[in-house]
């Protein structure tokens, strides 16, 4: 089927995973810049200072900083209607708490947006995508402190005014619900839960849910404040939330499994959407806080701020699904985006063990739209795989085409069912650094980039087979898959 007129087909990226130039143009370090490379089996480490001789993939990444013209031209060739990217907060405020922005950083994004607009591509900007200024981590322990809200609002005020006539679509926080999970403290909140022992990702986490949920509350307040601000600065702005949707099925029809799946879905997936779309904490969250001794400090007026800062649309990432079981007998496990779960015997998995479930996207779109009844957008979906460059230089990524095709088919079914879908941006439209493992080998792109896990390669770009396939999809507005 054809999607509606103006459907936003495109691709998605994040500054820390593809921009590089980590010290150029006055940029300061972000949390991502303190994370080393890793692999499938060796987790990334967080280092409190940059270690000589250690590899940090975000520092050069794929060097979009110097290649943006060439890259955007290729996005234009594919016919992108939109391009999701993040602004690197530390290009604008290098430490996060300055009062005046860094002009060189602002200029860089002017150039990028101008280039996109020249190609007829609408920018879709994530304001914070795992890029909290490391200066704020050092000074305030990141989002654990309420002071960071003001820094974020100042940053948003600056970029909203500067790009008022260039950008219409904004997302306040990437995968804000990562803070509901122990592994999300540093990536999502710039929080060092263990003080100077910065090895949360590699050596197991000494979790502190109170700190995490307090930080999440600060992000909710920050998000609500800037939604209001955005509308004041430009009433045409559309601001969305962004949730990592980790679709969960009950492993069996045992009512205990059904209830457990519901409980986990509420806490991991629904809590954040509920606050950001409806403007208040749902009952199940209050119950969870009470039962777990989590005491969130709220200030007078917070309720009003949340209520007045509801988002215009709901966006989410979708890669896979997992199962949950209430049975104490251990089942075989599967990996996944942010969270693993129980293996589903009906599904195949990617090279990285994420279970491929196109029908789950259909289910998820319906589930979300039934609940919120506001426009929805899929802003991340894609397949991380090992690509092979053939002797003739071609890259025949049929597996990626198949993955995307199957997901788009299901997405279209959800639209036929009445879901108001604004657009679809495939994750990692150009090969970039993996957020979870820091690898380059885990490739998502329509465009291949010559660079390996250790940073070797000439950064040359070339289209894969999927590049031409996606071009056709966009040309026919989703009809020819």
Active-site residue (options: 19, 60, 122, 380): 380
Tokens, residue 310: 């509801």
> d(Cα 473, Cα 81) in Å, to the nearest integer?
12
**With respect to ligand BG6, which residue has the nearer C-beta, 123 or 336?**
336
Instruction: Tell me, yes or no, if 175 is annotated catalytic.
Output: yes
- Which residue from 384, 423, 463, 478 is in contact with ligand BG6, where contact means CB under 6 A? 384
Residue 244 in contact with ligand BG6, rule: CB under 6 A? yes
Q: Is 175 in the site for ligand BG6 (CB under 6 A)?
A: yes
Q: Report, in Å, the least distance between residue 130 CB and ligand BG6.
A: 6
Structure tokens at 97: 């708490």
The DSSP 8-state label assigned to residue 349 in this structure reads B
Q: How far is the CB of 252 from ligand BG6 (least distance, A)?
A: 28
Name 169's bridge partners.
124, 238
Q: Whole-number minimum distance, CB 163 to ligand BG6, in Å?
A: 22
Q: Under the criterion CB under 6 A, does residue 339 sit at the interface with ligand BG6?
A: no
Task: Produce one character per residue of 20-40: b if its CB has 16 or more CB atoms within 10 Å, e if not.
Answer: bbbeebebbbbbbbbbbbbeb
> Measured from the CB atom, is 227 or 338 closer to ligand BG6?
338
Among 434, 448, 463, 474, binds ligand BG6 (CB under 6 A): 434
Residue 167, by phi and psi: left (phi above 0), alpha (psi -120 to 50) or beta?
A: beta
Our CB check for ligand BG6 shows the closer of 318 and 467 to be 318
- Are the beta carbons of 115 and 121 closer than 8 angstroms? no
**58, 174, 350, 425: which one contacts ligand BG6 (CB under 6 A)?**
174
Q: Look-up: residue for tokens 């942010």?
A: 338
* Torsional class of 415: left (φ above 0), alpha (ψ -120 to 50), beta (otherwise): alpha
**Is residue 14 near ligand BG6 by the rule CB under 6 A?**
yes
Q: List all residues 6 or more positions away from 5 whose beta carbon is below 8 Å from its beta carbon.
A: none
Min dist. Cβ of residue 183 to ligand BG6 (A): 11
Per CB under 6 A, 317 contacts ligand BG6: yes
- Any catalytic annotation for residue 391? no
Q: How are strands ordered across the β-sheet holding 333-334? A: 247-250, 321-324, 341-342, 333-334
Determine, following the binding rule CB under 6 A, whether residue 337 of this chain makes contact with ligand BG6: yes
Q: How many residues lie near ligand BG6 (CB under 6 A)?
A: 15
Binding site for ligand BG6 (CB under 6 A): 14, 17, 174-175, 244, 317, 337-338, 380, 384, 427, 434-436, 442
- The residues assigned a catalytic role are 175, 380
């Amino acid at each position: 089927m054809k999607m509606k007129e103006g459907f936003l087909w495109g691709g998605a990226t994040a500054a820390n995973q593809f921009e590089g130039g980590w010290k150029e143009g006055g940029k300061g370090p972000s949390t991502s810049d303190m994370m080393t490379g890793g692999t499938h089996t060796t987790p990334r480490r967080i280092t409190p200072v940059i270690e000589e001789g250690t590899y940090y993939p975000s520092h050069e990444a794929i060097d979009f900083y110097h290649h943006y013209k060439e890259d955007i031209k290729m996005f234009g060739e594919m016919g992108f209607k939109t391009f999701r990217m993040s602004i690197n907060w530390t290009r604008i405020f290098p430490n996060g708490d300055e009062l005046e922005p860094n002009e060189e950083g602002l200029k860089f994004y002017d150039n990028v947006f101008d280039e996109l607009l020249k190609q007829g591509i609408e920018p879709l900007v994530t304001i914070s995508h795992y890029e909290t200024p490391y200066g704020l981590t050092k000074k305030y322990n990141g989002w654990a402190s309420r002071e960071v809200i003001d820094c974020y609002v100042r940053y948003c005020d600056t970029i909203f005014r500067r790009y008022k006539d260039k950008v219409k679509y904004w997302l306040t926080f990437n995968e804000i619900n990562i803070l509901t999970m122990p592994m999300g403290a540093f990536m999502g909140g710039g929080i060092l839960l263990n003080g100077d022992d910065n090895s949360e990702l590699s050596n197991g986490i000494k979790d502190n849910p109170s700190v995490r949920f307090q930080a999440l509350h600060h992000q909710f307040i920050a998000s609500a404040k800037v939604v209001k601000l955005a509308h004041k600065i430009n009433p045409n702005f559309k601001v969305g939330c962004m949730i990592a949707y980790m679709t969960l099925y009950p492993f069996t029809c045992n009512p205990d499994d059904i209830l457990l799946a519901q409980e986990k879905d509420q806490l991991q997936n629904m809590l954040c959407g509920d606050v950001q779309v409806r403007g208040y904490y749902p009952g199940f969250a209050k119950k969870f806080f009470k039962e777990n001794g989590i005491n969130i400090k709220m200030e007078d007026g917070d309720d009003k701020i949340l209520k007045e800062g509801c988002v215009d649309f709901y966006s989410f990432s979708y890669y896979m699904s997992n199962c949950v079981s209430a049975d104490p007998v251990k089942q075989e496990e599967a990996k996944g985006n942010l969270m693993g779960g129980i293996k589903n015997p009906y599904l195949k998995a990617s090279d990285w063990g994420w279970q491929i479930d196109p029908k789950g996207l259909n289910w998820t779109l319906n589930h979300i739209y039934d609940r919120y009844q506001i426009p929805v957008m899929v802003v991340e979906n894609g397949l991380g795989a090992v690509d092979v460059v053939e002797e003739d230089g071609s890259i025949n990524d049929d597996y990626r085409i198949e993955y995307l095709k199957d997901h788009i088919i299901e997405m279209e079914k959800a639209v036929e069912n009445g879901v108001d879908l604004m657009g679809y941006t495939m994750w990692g439209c150009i090969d970039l650094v993996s957020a979870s493992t820091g690898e380059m080998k885990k490739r998502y792109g329509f465009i291949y980039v010559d660079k390996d896990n250790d940073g070797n390669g000439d950064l040359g770009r070339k289209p894969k087979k999927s590049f031409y396939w996606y071009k056709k999809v966009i040309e026919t507005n989703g009809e020819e898959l």
